[in-house]
């Protein structure tokens, strides 16, 4: 299903501290569950309001995130190589509150669909647990980043110049 070689995926995981405890053989097994997709600059990867049916590993490029309130689009951030995206809607099955788009010239993603993840949980639970742990760490980074941003905004709005 994927064009990426298992040796390249293993190196990618080791370099980016993703599923580090997986052996080369387990990574080789995982490649059969992944789908590689490429996007050109400005292409929409997933849109606001869609329910996520996959989580994705960024293996090349940058993915941008845009919020839209009906009138204005606001860039709210981006993620690059080594990050997992789409995991929030994937797990809670609620509509996405951000649009994901190809921010760089090209983006290459490895998709793990819900159907394949469900199979992985039964057929290779150790691999599935590693991916789940990675998703938890990814969400933790998101929450920490948001907390830091909120603290900076709070300081700017209410404490700027008082110190």
Beta-strand ranges (E) seen in the chain are: 35-40, 44-46, 54-60, 63-68, 73-79, 84-85, 99-102, 106-113
Question: What domains appear along the chain, each with residue ranges and CATH number?
Answer: 6-159 (2.60.120.10)
pTM above 0.75, yes or no: yes
CA distance 1 to 127: 17
CB 135 within 8 A of CB 55: yes
pLDDT recorded at residue 149: 64
> Could you say which residues of the chain have pLDDT below 70?
1-2, 136-147, 149-150, 160-163
């Amino acid at each position: 299903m994927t064009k990426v070689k298992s040796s390249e995926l293993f190196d990618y995981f080791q370099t980016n501290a993703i599923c580090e405890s997986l052996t080369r053989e387990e990574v080789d097994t995982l490649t059969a569950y992944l789908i590689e997709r490429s996007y050109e600059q400005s292409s929409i990867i997933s849109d606001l309001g869609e329910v996520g049916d996959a989580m994705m590993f960024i293996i090349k490029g940058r993915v941008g995130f845009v919020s839209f309130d009906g009138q204005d689009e606001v860039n709210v951030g981006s993620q690059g190589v080594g990050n997992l995206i789409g995991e929030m809607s994937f797990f809670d099955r609620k509509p996405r509150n951000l649009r994901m788009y190809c921010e760089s010239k090209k983006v290459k993603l490895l998709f793990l669909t819900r159907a394949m993840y469900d199979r992985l949980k039964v057929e290779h639970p150790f691999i599935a647990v590693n991916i789940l742990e990675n998703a938890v760490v990814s969400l933790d980074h998101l929450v920490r980043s948001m907390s830091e941003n909120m603290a900076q905004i709070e300081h700017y709005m209410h404490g700027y110049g008082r110190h």
